[in-house]
Amino acid sequence: MKHLFKPETFKNLVALLLVLLIVKLLWFAVEVLWLPSVGVDHLKETGNKSLYYRVKLTPNAAPAPIQKTAPKKNVGSIKDITLLAIYNASDVTVITVRYKNKTKVLSKGDEINGFVLEGAGSTFATFSKAAKTYRVALTKGKDNSKSIRSVKSEDAPSSSAPSSVKPEGDVTDAGDHKIIDRSLLDHYAKNLKEVYKDIGITEIKEGKAIKGFKITFVKRDSPFAKLGVKRGDIIKSMNGQEINSYNAAFSMYKNIRNIENATLVIQRGKEEMELEYEIN
């Protein structure tokens, strides 16, 4: 019978296996005795807690306090006020000024832009603010005269009359004209500021020249509403006198109690029309 393996080959194979076994046993002994118990495939749990360290990335300095900046207040300047006209009487001072492209009428004690009107001369107005006094000069007219827009009245409106008093008299429609009670004119002649509560007027310019005064509002049910004027109308003249300056406007107001009849020329849209009034 023929053997599959030679006896020498078999002996060599057995010897090799024994050598490998011995090597494996030696490696196991070394691993147990000397190698650490932590390896790639397993970790030995311990009861120790992990240590964490706090690291400051900024220098050890007290935080800088946050500075709060107070909001800047818009401090008004007296230069923002332009004096356009002055109405002076023995016990009443009324001026017209322009502020922020708007026209406003002021009497003594009124405030604008933080400044209080204290009084006025023929060519200037005096204001006060924070215990200081300021003087605003009247703007120059066409003839370079500062006083051209200043009107002085000897027939003084009464400053003591209460502004809340309802005006006496009325306006009656007579068809082709309107009839105005003289007592109504007397009321407005004595209380200039009452006029500006019932009707708003602003100047209309072509270049630097005033061409008239535009009505910006008319108070409902007021005597001015019964006069037939409307918002948007431009007042051109009265009794043939062109109203093309504050001087002309105040002159008309000064003489309002002395007229018997009045013809008011206005421009409404593209149409120019006349409004007739009888004073009774």
Mean per-residue pLDDT for 196-216? 86
122 and 193 co-located in one domain: no
Q: Which residues are within 8 A (CB) of 186 and not within 5 positions of it... i.e. 6 or more apart?
A: 257
105 closest CA partner among 230, 211, 215, 197: 197
197 and 255 co-located in one domain: yes
144 and 238 co-located in one domain: no
| Contact present, 148 and 210 (Cβ < 8 Å) | no
148 closest CA partner among 95, 85, 213: 85
Tokens of 233: 């109308």
141 and 203 co-located in one domain: no
Residue 149, pLDDT score: 46
Question: Which structural domain range is residue 221 located in?
Answer: 171-279
Whether 185 is covered by a domain: the verdict is: yes
Q: Residue 156 above 80 pLDDT?
A: no
3-class SS string, the chain: CCCCCCHHHHHHHHHHHHHHHHHHHHHHHHHHHCCCCCCCCCCCCCCCCCCCCCCCCCCCCCCCCCCCCCCCCCCCCHHHEEEEEEEECCCCEEEEEEECCEEEEEECCCEECCEEEEEECCCEEEEEECCEEEEEEECCCCCCCHHHHEEECCCCCCCCCCCCCCCCCCEEECCCCEEECHHHHHHHHHCHHHHHHHEEEEEEEECCEEEEEEEEEECCCCHHHHCCCCCCCEEEEECCEECCCHHHHHHHHHCHHHCCEEEEEEEECCEEEEEEEEEC
Full-prediction pTM beyond 0.75?
Answer: no
Query: Which CATH number goes with the domain that contains 265?
Result: 2.30.42.10
Q: Let me know if 218 is exposed, middle or buried by CB neighbors in 10 A (0-12, 13-18, 19+).
A: buried
Domain count, the chain: 2
Q: What is the pLDDT of residues 61-113, one digit of tens each?
A: 666 667 666 655 556 789 999 998 887 766 667 888 889 888 888 888 889 99
Q: Which residues are within 8 A (CB) of 40 and not within 5 positions of it... i.e. 6 or more apart?
A: none
Whether 36 is covered by a domain: the verdict is: no
Q: Which of 152, 181, 214 is the last residue of a domain?
A: 152
190 and 140 co-located in one domain: no
Which one of 50-54, 141-145, 158-162, 171-175 scores highest in mean pLDDT?
171-175
Q: Which residue has the tokens 């108070």?
A: 219
Residue 129, pLDDT score: 93
Mean per-residue pLDDT for 227-236? 94
185 and 259 co-located in one domain: yes
Whether 208 is covered by a domain: the verdict is: yes
Mean pLDDT, all residues of the chain: 77
Whether 18 is covered by a domain: the verdict is: no
Mean per-residue pLDDT for 219-230? 92
181 and 271 co-located in one domain: yes
132 and 193 co-located in one domain: no
Whether 64 is covered by a domain: the verdict is: no
Q: Which of 108, 123, 152 is the last residue of a domain?
A: 152
Q: What is the pLDDT of residues 30-51, one digit of tens each?
A: 666 665 555 545 445 555 555 5
Whether 253 is covered by a domain: the verdict is: yes
Query: Which CATH number goes with the domain that contains 98?
Result: 2.30.30.830
Residue 121, pLDDT score: 86
| Contact present, 153 and 54 (Cβ < 8 Å) | no
Whether 57 is covered by a domain: the verdict is: no
148 and 212 co-located in one domain: no
Q: Which of 152, 179, 195 is the last residue of a domain?
A: 152
176 and 137 co-located in one domain: no
